[in-house]
Amino acid sequence: MTIAAAEKSPILEVHGVVKRLGGVDILKGINFTVAEGSVVAIIGASGSGKSTLLRCLNMLIVPDDGEIVWKGQRVGWVQKGSTWVRQKEKELLGYRTQVGMVFQSFNLFPQMTALENIIEAPMTVLGRKRSEIEEEAHALLRKVRLSHRVKAYPHQMSGGEQQRVAIARALAMKPKAMLFDEVTSALDPELKGEVLTVMRELAAEGMTMILVSHEMGFVRHVADEVLFMHQGIVKERGNPSDVLVNPASAELQAFLQRVTD
Amino acid sequence: MDWTVVTSNAPLFVSATLNTVAIAAATIVLSVVIAFPLAIMRDSRFGFLRWVSAGYSWTTRAMPTLSLLFLAYYGLPQFGIYLDPVVAAITGLTVIAAGYNMEYIRVGLQAVPAGQYEACRALGIPLSIALRRLIVPQAMRTILPPLTSNLTLLLKGSALASLVAVTELSGQAMALISYTYKPIEILIAVALIYLCLNGVLVGVQRLVEQRYRLQD
């Protein structure tokens, strides 16, 4: 972590997170902290557990062991007397509204326009008025440079446009942090740029971001810290200009060679 | 051909058709309404709900409709419950039809990409709202064709109600045939009436499909 980021209090802490799926250890004890306003990038080969880890952070996947701590409070568990009790899915929803997520496959609601996609959750979850949230939605669409696509349906938009709507949809909940799961992996090269630009601007505004990405150039320039995952553990971590330039492990060296080829 | 057998008995055809429409309409609405929660329970996180739903699906589809109709009409009085013949018919047909409907709805819900459920959860949308506003409208495109097909079968199958003393279309036709010995005319008339009734059903399917179609 950079010195500037370390000075700020961690907004998210990950302690010893373990996840087994189908008898296989996907995550074998992951530890890291995310300072408020910092950008943490998770890199690694497919199957190394990156996406599983990201999903553990907002409890789309519930870890088998370890703790996720959000603003000093343990996520997914509440203390009742002296015992810890697991929260129900319903009780996790409040936490999830604070942590936005954007997916590789966009996952926009296909029967809704760009605008409707954005206002859906603020209306139904936060109970906000349509007129009020519509104004914000227009502003968000401007922010992601899609003012002209307000009434477009997902299948009428390019992948890059859809992904930017998905980012706007997540931002409409006014999250305190954003999770990005390989958000440019499904895009043609010429469309990646427009999505990465939006993400770069978000980072510059001070949004706390945790992203799984194969865009090494983006990671190098935007991330404060990079975690290299290999077979369910964090094999290397540190400032991207160190880790990516002088990889210590043979695994990271091999990985970087593969992705930059 | 002697069509006077149809025209002179028109009032009988009309009242029998109305009975058929009443039974079919009630059964269609009730069986679809019941099938939705059953379909959702089928993939619930809770084992007990899955078990109940799977048991319902299996027993109702494995059981002859007629057995259930007889049980409702002749069996329940043994326990002091006397159902009106129309109510007995609607009950029996609904219980069976819901077992089929729930499978079509389940398949439709499963056909919605997992990413849609994931997006709803990530946005903090409660499952009940997600299903109603986001998932089911998408699933409808998959659900409707087989569901409507089952409902047309159901409309024709409402003829079974005649076996529990309801004077519906098919039962009335059989009675008229044995009385007039003019089976061809009567059966053609009945077939045309069923055709029109199911035409309405298919028309409704079109309208609903259009409602859930993706915009061009």
Furthest C-alpha separation in chain B:
69
Comparing alpha-carbon positions, the chain A residue that sits nearest to B113 is: A107
Where are the domains positioned within chain B? 4-214
Average pLDDT over residues A180-186: 96
Q: Does domain B4-214 have CATH number 1.10.3720.10?
A: yes
Comparing alpha-carbon positions, the chain A residue that sits nearest to B116 is: A107
Q: Which residues of B137-159 are buried (b: 16+ CB within 10 A; e: fewer)?
A: bbbbbbbbebbbebbbebbebbb
* pLDDT score at B46: 92
Average pLDDT over residues B46-67: 96
Residue A260: pLDDT band (50, 70, 90) is confident
- Of the partner residues A58, A125, A153, the one whose CB lies closest to the CB of residue B125: A125
Task: State the DSSP code for B75.
Answer: I
Task: Quote the tokens at residue A228.
Answer: 């290299």
Residue B45: pLDDT band (50, 70, 90) is confident
Instruction: Count other Cβ atoms within 10 Å, centred on residue A256.
Output: 17
Contact A109 B118 (CB under 8 A): no
**H helix count then E strand count, chain A:** 10, 12
Better pLDDT: A122 or A5:
A122
User: pLDDT tens-digit profile of A4-17?
Assistant: 545 567 999 999 99
A125–chain B Cβ distance below 8 A for any pair: yes
Distance from CA of B106 to the nearest CA of A (A): 19
Give CA–CA dist B84/A51, Å, rounded: 59
Closest residue by Cα to residue B72 from B175, B165, B167: B165
- Of the partner residues B124, B127, B137, the one whose CB lies closest to the CB of residue A96: B124
Is residue A150 within 8 Å of A141, Cβ to Cβ?
A: yes
Distance from CA of B202 to the nearest CA of A (A): 23
Is residue A92 within 8 Å of A59, Cβ to Cβ?
A: yes
Residue A159: pLDDT band (50, 70, 90) is very high
Average pLDDT over residues A130-144: 96
- Alpha-carbon Rg for chain B, nearest whole angstrom, is 20
B214–chain A Cβ distance below 8 A for any pair: yes
At B44 the three-state DSSP class reads coil
Average pLDDT over residues B159-179: 94
At B98 the three-state DSSP class reads helix
A130–chain B Cβ distance below 8 A for any pair: no
A117–chain B Cβ distance below 8 A for any pair: no
A213–chain B Cβ distance below 8 A for any pair: no
The three-point CA angle B46-B47-B51 to 5° equals 125
Average pLDDT, chain A: 94
A119–chain B Cβ distance below 8 A for any pair: no
- Given a cut of 60, is residue A1 above it in pLDDT? no
Q: What sign for the dihedral angle of Cα B31, B34, B36, B39?
A: negative
Provide ipTM, 2 decimals. Answer: 0.92
Average pLDDT over residues A216-233: 96
Task: Quote the tokens at residue A41.
Answer: 């990038």
The pTM assigned to this predicted structure is 0.89
* pLDDT score at B189: 96
Helix locations, chain B, DSSP H: 4-7, 10-42, 47-62, 65-70, 85-111, 114-122, 127-129, 136-157, 169-180, 183-212
